[in-house]
Amino acid sequence: MRRSWILGAVALVGLAAAGWFLTERPLTVTVVAAETGVPLRLYGLGSVEARVLSRVGFEVGAALVSVSADAGDAVKAGQELAALHPAEQKTRVARAQAAVAANAAGQAKADAAVARAQAVLAQRIAANDRQKELARQDISSIQRAEEAQRDEDVARAEFALAEADLAVIRAQGADVAAALQLEETLLSHHRLVAPYDAVVVARHVEPGTVVKAGDPIFTLIDPATIWVQAFIDEERAGQLALGQEGVIRLRSQPTAEFHGTVARIGLESDRVNEERRVWLTCTDCPARMFLGEQAEVRILTGLRESALMVPEVAITGFDGFRGTVWTVQDGRLQRAELTFGARDDKGRAEVTGGLPDGSAIVAMPPKGADEGRLARIGDAQ
């Protein structure tokens, strides 16, 4: 019995020692070391897009008779891409041309009528002047003078009427000329031409299809306006500025890095994903880019000569500005509330204040960490 008591006591002492060893032994921790020349980058995921993208189609509807371009083709401004059946519109143009010709003939007739009325008026004026002179000399009767004045007035009115008829016909000429121009414009709309130097991204219809006005026939892009659209977490987007440089990686070329510049920052954030859109132009991207291809960007927002960068996973209660970390002070673990500034694309935040003198920040709190627990500093990271 005495022996069993001794064995039990030994066991209790062993358990106590083991418990003390597990709970009170110094923990080996990794601490954060100050770094020099620290680049601050923001990570974003996005895709290749084009700033100038057009879904082009006809302004009128008809049957499609030809399609002259296909996906992947490079086209020049003014180059014909497709054409509609023009017979009906050509007939309208012919009718408008006939109306213009008829109006021209009418104007010629009206011009002749004006010239005739003008000649008659001149004759009547001369006759009236002679009758007035004869009447003053009592050679001719007053009645004949009055008749000569009446003839002049009638001739003057007929001349005015001829001029008015000519003005009406000229106005009608302007109308039929405008109608002809309209019909010719509509005829020209039966040809679809490239609005600028472009690359055909997609061809949506084939010959024989009856299309309506506005139906897309091709999707075009201006290859000079290809850029990368990326989404940046709103919490980090405050560091963005136009002109910042970035590194671009395309999914189809994961081992290659291309260089870009922030060209636009969206004025409206995504309300659901809480992200801000940015666009980067690329200076050395491949000549052939594919719209919609996934791209990763890392935008350089600053460079610190010296900084203490703490992994965000080591910060508790982090609100983007303040948070609590474990520190090693005088060989024991302590909690400290710090303030933070810029963050980088490695998931780290820059310490800006609150760190007690002589303290080292624990990079990854070990299991069993507690206030006052002995700690031994291992390798810094």
pLDDT at 16: 45
Mean pLDDT of the chain: 86
CA 293 – CA 47 distance, rounded (Å): 5
Which pLDDT band, with edges at 50, 70 and 90, does 83 fall under? very high
pLDDT for 224-268, tens place per residue?
999 999 999 888 888 899 999 999 999 999 899 999 999 999 998
Question: Residue 372: pLDDT above 90?
Answer: no
Which pLDDT band, with edges at 50, 70 and 90, does 18 fall under? very low
CA 132 – CA 140 distance, rounded (Å): 8
pLDDT at 113: 86
Average of per-residue pLDDT across 89-96: 93
pLDDT at 6: 59
Question: Residue 27: pLDDT above 90?
Answer: no
Count Cβ atoms below 10 Å from residue 275 Cβ, excluding itself: 21
Q: Which of 239, 240, 290, 284 is nearest to 262 (CA)?
A: 240
pLDDT for 128-187, tens place per residue?
677 776 767 666 666 676 676 787 788 788 888 888 988 898 898 899 999 999 999 999
pTM of the model: 0.70
pLDDT at 17: 45
Q: Which helix (H) or strand (E) holds 95?
A: helix 87-136
CA 234 – CA 239 distance, rounded (Å): 10
Question: Residue 11: pLDDT above 70?
Answer: no
Question: Residue 371: pLDDT above 70?
Answer: yes
pLDDT at 8: 57
pLDDT at 7: 55
Question: Residue 350: pLDDT above 50?
Answer: yes
The radius of gyration computed from the CA coordinates of the chain, to the nearest angstrom, equals 46
The CATH code of domain 25-52+222-381 reads 2.40.30.170
In the chain, where the domains are located: 25-52+222-381, 53-82+190-220, 87-188
Which pLDDT band, with edges at 50, 70 and 90, does 287 fall under? confident
- The topology under which CATH files domain 53-82+190-220 is OB fold (Dihydrolipoamide Acetyltransferase, E2P) (2.40.50)
The answer to whether 75 and 69 are in contact (CB under 8 A) is: yes
CA 299 – CA 240 distance, rounded (Å): 8
Count Cβ atoms below 10 Å from residue 347 Cβ, excluding itself: 12
Strands (E), 164-293: 191-193, 198-203, 210-211, 218-221, 226-233, 245-250, 253-265, 275-282
Average of per-residue pLDDT across 263-282: 92
Lowest mean pLDDT among 97-106, 126-135, 331-340, 345-354: 126-135
Q: What is the DSSP letter of 223?
A: G
Which pLDDT band, with edges at 50, 70 and 90, does 48 fall under? very high
pLDDT over 90, % of the chain: 50
pLDDT at 85: 94
DSSP string, 106-174: HHHHHHHHHHHHHHHHHHHHHHHHHHHHHHHTTSS-HHHHHHHHHHHHHHHHHHHHHHHHHHHHHHHHH
pLDDT at 22: 46
Residue 332 burial by Cβ neighbours in a 10 Å radius (0-12, 13-18, 19+): middle
CA 343 – CA 315 distance, rounded (Å): 13
Residues 6+ apart with CB under 8 A from 271: none
